[in-house]
Structure 1
């Protein structure tokens, strides 16, 4: 104990403690409204509040966990909505970092994770401080927190810790490396953003390839494999500790929008692209433009964000005032100007990593040595190329077609998180190597590589230069037009004169940020060039300040401190339509036509057929798209949607749907087919109260096809909970019942008079049953076997994990 205390009180340990305290205080001050008891309004979290309502209600009222909800998309599993499972030993580790409020705790994790990784790489604490700030303050990582992508941010924050564990094992620090790897991988998976986990596998895979080649050259393959083998064991244990959620999510993915479609035609009747995952267009919808990707160092090279605050000092504001627009209206307009002229549908902010950090990164390509440089450089290159998506189809198509699971994820531009991890890390290593040597020659090379493209980009604005350049290469290559794909639409709203002013603002931003980049480049170069005069400590301090100012000055353009609200204030409040609907105590669904399937506000107060989630049930999404395209309400009707909300002039308007089919009904006949397309087409033509349709292989051949629905004398319905529904009926003959409940084949079990029975899919998205005559009780229970199996796997993994750690300590003691 005395030795431990002495170590903690040593000078080196105290420095690290002070740095960690500084990170903690800095994170809170960055989100200083938290000190006033406020919370950050995050748009995606407001949607999650609606989606998770029933989960929280069941926890609060019954202290029970449910794995199915009714209040969104007609019903869906909760596996990707924050479901909890027994024997969770990871949550206490997660809450170790929750002693400061959200989202400050995630920023703290960004900083401390990268700091610890750099220390593991034996980088001095001062330079590690620069690297951690360069990583933690990169614009993209802060913007995803602002909009509420908390799981993504959390998953990213653990990436440096995972790599730190891997490096420790490479250094033959087996116990510490294994434990850190185990905890970090487990928490990274627990964060529940599997796309970021997938990108982490890219980083690990490239590490393994580069170091394996290096080990082969040195004749050290065996020692290398032996040193890092505990890392893969840690990964297996981490998978086991997360087994309930992983296994249930994997099962659900087979029926979600991430799976292959059963349809051969799209809603318009055109042949549908055959794929085992998401559609190509959906995967690549958010693809970074090749020219646009320069925004990692020049933030507004293509206009910045979709909505930029150009300020009251802008020429646009002056133009509005000169044209008699009232000051307040002109001011409000300039706060959200559509300056972005790239091809992505929307951009919250550029993925800026800092021109100052980028210069250090280029310097590192000359000063850093060994496999670490090539590993991180390969991470940067593959990340950048894949982020181009449809703009670089040669590589993108190859990965979508042949790379395992790549077609399960959308928004390919988000793979830039890999370079946002790799560039600050390599920049820190390069700076460390440079400060150990007076390598001015390589510094000059780095300056030339950065400054010349900046000069060329400025010259692109001028026609004489592009003319000379085009004549020289024999083709038109200037990417600078400042005209966006939506400009014609903006002209129809704002008028041509205002759009011309917006184009001028884009031109100004372009020049301003390039000149800004030049200035920061020259400042960093000058500091490094005269380090012998300044001394290493002053040099590092100056670079720290410049990096901080470089990143924070851009972040301040996009971080909106006005988004903080009182902690007791609700994200979503009831409108008049909600209040009117809530007077009805019967069981029904609600559809907000103004939100469609892209908003969960309604789910906060009602059982909605809308919602907000990236992985809905595939059939539900397909049916919605089909019937919406054909302007047909059959889906709304058969989901027992009693109330429809739409936008009014001043408030929401409420309509009663007289055609709502009810909770359950009997039909007279059922059509059978082998075609999913025919099912959807038939549903637009038949009377769903008399007829149903399903697949041949769904309907038992032992069942009859014709029924007499008039023989159903009565049927009563009771939704005991989202996981348990009861029906009691009386019929003079066998009946084919259609339930207005979403079909999901895994987990739902049905009992007639407490005896296990069978149900099937009907009308593409609903449940159906053939039931016997007489008085009977039907119970639907959601009892997913995969959850039970996952819990057992977790228990075994806990036992094996602690046994292996005990074994490692035993072997060390024995030695």
Structure 2
């Protein structure tokens, strides 16, 4: 997998297409090995592969997450196969599959997969202990540890750099600044922001009850629009059949327990006692965000249980027919259940107006809010649409079951009918989820947008600051423009602190254009307060200049203090068009420059105060944590030129009459970056809390910043070494099997 990623022209879409069938194949093989017949195993494979939450991950462009999810069933099949039949061939295959999932790099999905596998181990060990087979118990546990070690070795090329990087990010970073309660990024509250709730549980039955992806309306309890958790109503009912009628089987107990525990985990802060047991005790668990991601185990468990439930119904029909029992009573009960389900839907439809009035009378304030009333009626219409689809699928399932009991169709015909209903049900929801905008062509995107055209026409080295609502916009990255904003799963901790404590992300625009709730207070600002706001704006402009921000994107007009309006357009955000203004920063500093003065921070807690001081001039002074060598002095004739700038190497030429400090406004990351002055290694100083600086004596110098990760190198060679070892294990097992067969 790592080698596939190395091809620069290989799109993520291709990787998703290649891996997508693995999701269905894995669960199919998992059930077939447990003597499940063809059609029930196919139902499970399709139920997981085309589950709406899985399709929604693809539609949202989360390539690495979906690829990691596709490996989940294959990992569980291969690993449980090895634990049940401990051969060298099974060991090698399981280690390869587990290692490939780790190489994808989505640690959260991989961790949930291994937690489910560990639960399987516990159930297996319990069964062996009950049989008093202590010898095999010890061998099984050692085998599990060996498999885990082999998988980690194969995935080391991805895991080692992640382990090295994690402590420096918002998910695992800790500095003195993070003690401030307002800026705790790895706290329990931050980690559990995306927690599932019992309110959203209804989307397991009614997928679009709280809104859909066709608009910006979302009425659920998560921080933003979320995907429905619908896995198919027949899938859910068949899973219940397995849990009820096959509840004594160890496989069913394991799958049911996994689903239950994963559901509790997904609740996060809404069931904090349970979540904290893992958050405080399981390695790396406190670095994971989005507890709702644990629902992937629920989707897998429901799909697998559905196949096992369908298998039970097929077996039950066969057994009853073989015993030549009178099935008319059972068929009559099924028919009655069908009529009840359909009749209840009809009654609800007849009472639609009455129920709507009851809800409105229960909350009379909503009648005064036209928008709220519109949302309520829209939600009501969506409820009835979803409910009728659910009724239709359930009645279809009952109808096929009825005809199978009446011997009007064969058992395979019944199973095939259920399969067709599951496909139709999932297609209906998946189609709505996939009705997203057409894939964006980067070339046409730039040509049709005057702002992006302006940015792409600038060939210099610069950054863009997307202010206000545009801060998390990812379009700039899509066209290769460096931005201070955008979205990243694990930002550098110190950089995030710099952006937060200087107010760039929170009040750069807001101080001039407050929210409606603050407008009255803003209108009463005194002249002195207005002067303070302008002074703060000048301070922020200095910091943006230091950050090599040449352009600013804003949805609101800005005071043109050092700024000129270049062009403007509109962008569709949510359900409306908003202005997009492009300002050019006339005082932008180059990415690397020389200064002759420095200030020392008394402590980490004083850094934000000094950075935001009105007298701080980042173009001539740098804030350091330790005293540099020599005696830097201001030098107006000093020259600094970037000769080459690539992700892993930066070449700079400098010339000055006095000692200087070279400031580079790139993130300070000690584990990987090294600096060389005229070929000799030199210390990289932390500048302005989150960036880099190097002391330079007077004269002409060639400065090189070079990135080399020891963690990546060690992981690469360990993964490379693991490949022939696993091939050797497979060959050894193959030869042993041949000898035994002879």
TM-score (norm 1): 0.73
Cα distance, 1:235 vs structure 2: 3.5
3-state SS of 1:303 partner: coil
Q: CA 1:770 to 1:259, structure 2 compared with 1: closer, same or farther past 3 Å? A: same
Q: In 1, are the aligned partners of 2:183 and 2:497 still within 8 Å (CA)?
A: no
Q: Counterpart of 1:703?
A: 629
User: 2:432 matched to 1:521?
Assistant: no
Q: In 1, are the aligned partners of 2:638 and 2:656 still within 8 Å (CA)?
A: yes
The match for 1:418 among 262, 277, 297 is: 297
User: 2:451 matched to 1:577?
Assistant: yes
Q: Counterpart of 1:168?
A: 81
Q: Counterpart of 1:625?
A: 500
Q: Counterpart of 2:253?
A: 374
Matches within 5 A, 1:371-410: 371-410=250-289
Q: Counterpart of 2:517?
A: none
The match for 1:510 among 383, 388, 391 is: 383
Cα distance, 1:181 vs structure 2: 1.2
User: 2:582 matched to 1:657?
Assistant: no
Q: CA 1:787 to 1:102, structure 2 compared with 1: closer, same or farther past 3 Å? A: closer
Q: Counterpart of 1:203?
A: 116
Q: Which runs of 5+ in 2 are unaligned?
A: 321-326, 509-539, 556-567, 571-578
Relative contact order higher in (CA < 8 Å, ≥ 6 apart)? 1
Q: Counterpart of 1:646?
A: 554
Cα distance, 1:613 vs structure 2: 1.8
3-state SS of 2:638 partner: strand
Matches within 5 A, 1:437-452: 437-438=316-317
Q: Counterpart of 2:661?
A: 736
Q: In 2, are the aligned partners of 1:482 and 1:506 still within 8 Å (CA)?
A: no
The match for 2:475 among 580, 598, 601 is: 601
Q: CA 1:221 to 1:527, structure 2 compared with 1: closer, same or farther past 3 Å? A: farther
Q: CA 1:254 to 1:600, structure 2 compared with 1: closer, same or farther past 3 Å? A: same
The match for 2:243 among 365, 388, 405 is: 365
Deviations 1:381-431 (A, max 9, x none): 111112122222222233323332222122211211101000110121122
Q: Counterpart of 1:47?
A: none
Cα distance in 2 between the residues matched to 1:404 and 1:540: 43
Matches within 5 A, 1:237-636: 237-264=150-177, 270=181, 272-273=183-184, 278-300=186-208, 302-305=209-212, 307-308=213-214, 336=215, 338=217, 340-368=218-246, 369-438=248-317, 496-528=369-401, 531-532=404-405, 533=407, 534-560=409-435, 563-565=437-439, 575-593=449-467, 597-603=471-477, 604-627=479-502, 628=504, 629=506, 631=508, 632-636=540-544
Q: CA 1:397 to 1:511, structure 2 compared with 1: closer, same or farther past 3 Å? A: farther
Q: In 1, are the aligned partners of 2:89 and 2:729 still within 8 Å (CA)?
A: no
Moved more, 599-608 or 434-443: 434-443
Matches within 5 A, 1:691-730: 691-695=621-625, 699=626, 703=629, 707-710=632-635, 713-730=638-655
Cα distance, 1:225 vs structure 2: 5.1
Q: In 1, are the aligned partners of 2:542 and 2:617 still within 8 Å (CA)?
A: no
Alignment size in residue pairs = 668
Q: In 2, are the aligned partners of 1:592 and 1:602 still within 8 Å (CA)?
A: no
Q: Counterpart of 1:747?
A: 672
Cα distance in 1 between the residues matched to 2:468 and 2:461: 22
Q: Which runs of 5+ in 1 are unaligned?
A: 1-83, 309-335, 467-479
Q: CA 1:611 to 1:567, structure 2 compared with 1: closer, same or farther past 3 Å? A: closer
Q: Counterpart of 1:54?
A: none
3-state SS of 1:633 partner: helix
User: 2:721 matched to 1:796?
Assistant: yes
Q: CA 1:579 to 1:137, structure 2 compared with 1: closer, same or farther past 3 Å? A: closer
Q: In 2, are the aligned partners of 1:679 and 1:694 still within 8 Å (CA)?
A: no
Runs of 4+ residues over 6 Å off in structure 1? 89-92, 439-445, 480-485, 566-569
Cα distance, 1:782 vs structure 2: 1.5
Q: CA 1:422 to 1:766, structure 2 compared with 1: closer, same or farther past 3 Å? A: same
3-state SS of 2:239 partner: helix
Q: In 2, are the aligned partners of 1:265 and 1:677 still within 8 Å (CA)?
A: no
Matches within 5 A, 1:88-103: 88=3
Cα distance in 2 between the residues matched to 1:281 and 1:783: 35
Moved more, 224-233 or 156-165: 224-233
Q: Counterpart of 1:137?
A: 50
Deviations 1:252-273 (A, max 9, x none): 111112113324468xx75555
Cα distance in 2 between the residues matched to 1:811 and 1:373: 34
Cα distance in 1 between the residues matched to 2:426 and 2:636: 73
Q: CA 1:228 to 1:528, structure 2 compared with 1: closer, same or farther past 3 Å? A: farther
Q: In 1, are the aligned partners of 2:89 and 2:733 still within 8 Å (CA)?
A: no
The match for 2:63 among 142, 150, 153 is: 150
Cα distance, 1:568 vs structure 2: 9.2
Cα distance in 1 between the residues matched to 2:362 and 2:107: 33
Q: In 2, are the aligned partners of 1:389 and 1:412 still within 8 Å (CA)?
A: yes
3-state SS of 1:661 partner: coil
Q: Counterpart of 2:131?
A: 218
Cα distance in 2 between the residues matched to 1:162 and 1:412: 21
Q: In 2, are the aligned partners of 1:578 and 1:605 still within 8 Å (CA)?
A: no
Q: In 2, are the aligned partners of 1:161 and 1:180 still within 8 Å (CA)?
A: no
Q: CA 1:784 to 1:102, structure 2 compared with 1: closer, same or farther past 3 Å? A: closer
